[in-house]
Amino acid sequence: MANVTLTINGVQVTVSEGTSILDAARGAGFFIPTLCHDPASPNFGACRICVVEVKGARALVASCSAAATNGMVVETESPAVVEARKTIIELLLANHPADCLTCEKNGDCVLQEYAYRYDVRSSGFEGERHSYPVDDSNPYIIRDMNKCILCGKCVRTCEQVEDRQVINFAYRGFKTKIAPAMDTNLAESDCVSCGRCVAVCPVGALTYKSMAGKGRSYEIEKDQVTCSFCDAGCQFNLNYKAGKVIGVTAKEPGSGRPLCLKGRLGLELLYNEKPVAPMLKKDGAYVEVPWVEALGLEGVLEKLKEREN
């Protein structure tokens, strides 16, 4: 593949043809914020926080979905770029709960990080605010759509990485939200609780129920572990606090492999002294089940018993 050479912040950068401006800039060590960009499902271009100034372009360019071209001259932090990013953050904060003190995502929230970086302390925009009930119907995942920034990463990961399409954008305009079909709660949907959507959510809209109240991000250390239940080799994070595993969470996509609840539960049982109670859906409702059933080992157990007798 041919190469292209562009200038980013005065530095000449050579990348292969088709590389996005974002990847070219990040590869050269320059910071560009992103909210909706996900390498596993690129070119969405919805949030626009990744805009950069391209010499000769009529408007700021979304760097995540524009390809670098030969001779391009790019500024990643010009006054116009910074102004645009601040406005986007202000618009997002205009309809975002300011409950960082108690939010599970505090310290690990990308919106919070960017507000800090660009010194946006409050929103200058006043208007109607959402007041959705928090959906905690699923035994593993909490959905707080009041905190959703509509980046769509959960929708794309569910559809393109998990191949499921359980959630999607619903309604229009101010009422737009991410919802399962017919805007039901998660428990009534076809969600299989893989947790991949939680792993990609940049804010506190999707969080793990099992991790609620257990610690701040800066108190938790993560260690990557490979599930050995099947030969897919899915990656999970063991979350340690004070040297003890307090929960197993899905690792953010990288390999593009699907994850499964069985794998996460199995690792909980293996590593967590106080694992979550395994719950499975039966006749449309979640009920607690024995571990052998949650891990799908009844058949193995029966065979072992048969052989012992």
Region for 288 from its dihedrals, namely left if φ exceeds 0, alpha if ψ lies in -120 to 50, beta otherwise: beta
With beta carbons less than 8 A apart as the criterion, state whether 138 and 193 touch: yes
Q: Of residues 23, 24, 34, 52, which one binds ligand FES by CB under 6 A?
A: 34
Which lies closer to ligand FES via its Cβ, residue 36 or residue 187? Answer: 36
Number of residues that bind ligand FES (CB under 6 A): 12
Q: Is 24 in the site for ligand FES (CB under 6 A)?
A: no
From 45-53, 236-244, 247-255, 280-288, span contacting ligand FES (CB under 6 A): 45-53
Which lies closer to ligand FES via its Cβ, residue 46 or residue 100? Answer: 46
From 44-52, 108-116, 221-229, 249-257, span contacting ligand FES (CB under 6 A): 44-52
Amino acid at 9: N
Quote the CA–CA distance of 214 and 231 in Å, as a whole number.
32
Which lies closer to ligand FES via its Cβ, residue 35 or residue 186? Answer: 35
Among the listed residues 205, 278, 267, the one whose alpha carbon sits nearest the alpha carbon of residue 237? 267
Q: Of residues 45, 107, 215, 258, which one binds ligand FES by CB under 6 A?
A: 45
Quote the CA–CA distance of 285 and 216 in Å, as a whole number.
31
**Binding residues for ligand FES restricted to 123-142, rule: CB under 6 A:** none
Q: Cβ of residue 203: shortest distance to ligand FES, in angstroms?
A: 13
Q: Is 36 in the site for ligand FES (CB under 6 A)?
A: yes
Q: Is 156 in the site for ligand FES (CB under 6 A)?
A: no
From 40-48, 76-84, 265-273, 282-290, span contacting ligand FES (CB under 6 A): 40-48
Amino acid at 139: P
Which lies closer to ligand FES via its Cβ, residue 51 or residue 141? Answer: 51
**Binding residues for ligand FES restricted to 50-69, rule: CB under 6 A:** 50, 62, 64
Q: Is 47 in the site for ligand FES (CB under 6 A)?
A: yes
From 43-51, 93-101, 118-126, 130-138, span contacting ligand FES (CB under 6 A): 43-51
Which lies closer to ligand FES via its Cβ, residue 3 or residue 69? Answer: 69
Region for 117 from its dihedrals, namely left if φ exceeds 0, alpha if ψ lies in -120 to 50, beta otherwise: alpha
Which lies closer to ligand FES via its Cβ, residue 61 or residue 211? Answer: 61
From 4-12, 41-49, 170-178, 258-266, span contacting ligand FES (CB under 6 A): 41-49
Residues that bind ligand FES (CB under 6 A): 34-37, 45-50, 62, 64
